Amino acid sequence: MANMGNAANPFLSTYKTPHATAPFDKIKEEHYEPAFEKGMKEHLLEIERITNNPRPATFENTIVPYEAAGRLLSQVSSVFYNLNSAETNDEIMAISQRISPKMSEHHNNISLNEKLFARIKTVYDQKDRLQLDRESLMLMDKIYLSFVNGGANLQDSDKEIYRKLTAELSKLTLDFGQNVLKETNQFELHLTEVSDLAGLPESLCEAATLKAKQKGKEGWIFDLTFPSYAPFMKYSEKRHLREKLYRAYNGRCNQGGEFDNKEIIRKIVETRLRIAQLLGYKNYADYVLRRRMAQNSQNVYELLDQLLNAYKPVALEEVREVNGFASGWERQQVELMPWDWSYYSEKLKNTKFAVNDEMTRPYFELERVKQGVFGLATELFGITFRKNTRIPVYHPEVDAYEVFDENNRFLAVLYTDFFPREGKRQGAWMTEYKGQWKEKGIDSRPHISLVMNFTRPTETKPALLTFDEVNTFLHEFGHGLHGMLSDVVYESLSGTNVYRDFVELPSQLMENFLLEKTFLDRFAVHYQTGEKMPESIIQKLIDAGNFNTGYACVRQLTFGLLDMAWHTLDAPYDGNLHVFEQQATRSTQVLPLIQGSSISTTLSHIFSGGYAAGYYGYKWAEVLDADAFSVFKANGIFNKDIAGKYRENILSKGGTEDPMTLYVRFRGEKPSINALLERNGIKQ
């Protein structure tokens, strides 16, 4: 059977698709495991050729072929793991459980290969005499450190322990993410009384009607996916229903039972700590931060404390204001609970600024928003986007675009995937099916994907986005630009392969444009009348831009502090998870704690994503993006010279140099938090 599968396995022959894109139309579940096996086998043979080379180790015969090895495995992995997030099913999840330990063992077989490390170390030890360019030096450093952090310097007995720990960690993080997805999909709020819809926007009710129809039920179904959950919490007049939904959302994977993540978290944290200490670090944060702009946990805490001191007094004042407003609105004293925050905040925002999602939504029709976002890239960088229906996609709702530069040269393939589905995890992300590299005079261009969970079209309306959804689009598109405009030699340094606390700069910088009238004027038109968004609404959006900014910052600091608390532990934790959370986040507490709620049990960024000991990076990058955008503001937000300088020094460079060096080359100086404080109105 396996051989028959191999004969027709699309992974195992040259892709005959435009730009050698993944042949999604031909890939079936049974193709993955044989392709993984072949990919791992080929990768090991390529490594053997390096280690068996009789010539002395050099950069050209050791580092360069090591960097290029494993292309087939990379092709299979990128498709499989991306679809496991964007279009999964029971079979793919089962395959991931089977393949995960094999992949972990495979990577360990390479990182713990003594002959290979000996050659790499030989080159590394003489790197200062080799007259390498900056990118080659960065590659050398990255590869060497990845081996050291992968256990290459360990004694044989410790290497075996390392193998077991990494295999275990791989499975645990996979289990965590799958539990969150399954528990999210399991819940539905099924309403049959019209009175229970009080306050809810028509568009949300239409989507809930459609969801109920699809499940063969009467009435309306609301669930825990963000386009359903967030507007329900914001608009529902039924406090008991908001509470029910809040408790379901914030109690996921925390109630015992099949999908509970508490024990998995304890094991993940302990396993990461054991790996870090095995490698000579005090804790996991020290292990991670060695290759970050922040460098160490002390610098992370300094940033978080600096921001907490600046924003918490503002957050407390905002909570008092919302609480006072709620009591006035209800004409009785209201004890503000977490499930009340979005509801009364939205009403206060509407009272103060007379602007809300339902007022702006008709001006954010998805196709027009797409034109606006793509058009911004054209304005700044000269790049253009052409839809190509001949490029295979993994779901009918996915679109594929060819991207061209200002000279009409092919730059990248861009996939867009906008709507929630049962097989797609929550949130929004940019990823790649292929990175960018240069080899033998050929510039091999990247295949980038933007995956989101936006408001769907209904039977009567096109997809009309909220302001926050447009903001998310710009954010992920910023990551996409980092990938599409990459211009490096080595794939492992291309695009978003940068320090984790630098990677959010390009994404967050793009968000700044959304509060600029000259940008909104270009695409924000009413989907029925074609009229531009009125200047009065744009001004209200700008005025409301810093509404509850203190609360929003403190919320992010909560996640950052909790992440650091878990990963600065220097001994295993066997106490109560909720007690630990409360102690870690006490300084950011501005609303009552709710029994049964947990942040950690669904915090996929740090327990199944790549942000362990790195969640602070969002705030770090916010300091950077505010500082960087101040340059655009000072010179004109569509200034091509500034955009060119930004592209040349940051977007195109990937991880080829130290990020602070790149930033200073663009900015002229190191960043400070002043621009962020000014943007948020904390400091005049």
Which residues are catalytically annotated? 476
Strand 447-451 with 410-417, pairing: parallel
Could you give phi then psi for residue 656, rounded to 5 degrees?
-80, -15
Q: Yes or no: say if 401 and 386 are a contact pair by the CB < 8 Å rule.
A: yes
Distance CA 289, CA 613 (A): 7
Exposure string (b/e) for 361-385, b if CB count within 10 Å is 16 or more? Answer: bbbbbbebbbebbbebbeebbbbbb
CB 684: neighbour CB atoms within 10 A? 5
Helix (H, G, I), strand (E, B) or coil at 553: helix
Find, among 64, 158, 159, the residue nearest to 111 by Cα: 159
Could you tell me which residues come within 8 angstroms of residue 534 by beta carbon, excluding any fewer than 6 positions away? none
CA distances to 118, 395, 498, 629, 649 from 642, in Å: 45, 38, 22, 10, 11
Whole-number Å distance between alpha carbons of 51 and 62? 8
| Exposed e or buried b per residue across 243-279, where buried means at least 16 C-beta atoms within 10 angstroms of its C-beta | bebbbbbbbbbbeeeebbbbebbbbbbbbbbbbbbbb
User: Is the sign of the CA dihedral 384, 386, 392, 396 positive or negative?
Assistant: positive
> Cα separation of 283 and 279, whole Å?
10
**Ramachandran angles phi, psi of 398, nearest 5°:** -85, 135
Q: What is the largest CA-CA distance in the chain?
A: 85
* Class of residue 546 by CB neighbours under 10 A (exposed 0-12, middle 13-18, buried 19+): middle
- 103's enclosing H/E stretch is helix 90-111
Q: Give the separation between CA 29 and CA 32, rounded to whole angstroms.
A: 6
**Separation of alpha carbons 32 and 277, rounded Å:** 35
What is the bridge-based pairing of β-strands 442-444 and 437-439?
Answer: antiparallel
Burial class (CB in 10 A: 0-12, 13-18, 19+), 7: exposed
Contacts of 556 (CB under 8 A, 6+ apart): 618, 619
Closest CA to 373 of 362, 385, 363: 385
Name residue 432's beta-bridge partners: 448
442: part of which helix (H) or strand (E)? strand 442-444
Q: How far apart are CA 612 and CA 149, in angstroms?
A: 15
Q: Which residues contact 56 (CB under 8 A, 6 or more apart)?
A: 122
Q: Give me the amino acid identity at 415.
A: Y
**581: Cα within 13 Å, side-chain hemisphere:** 21
The Cα–Cα gap between 638 and 381 comes to 10
Distance CA 143, CA 626 (A): 32
State the Cα–Cα distance between residues 600 and 269, nearest whole angstrom: 11
Q: Which helix (H) or strand (E) holds 274?
A: helix 262-278
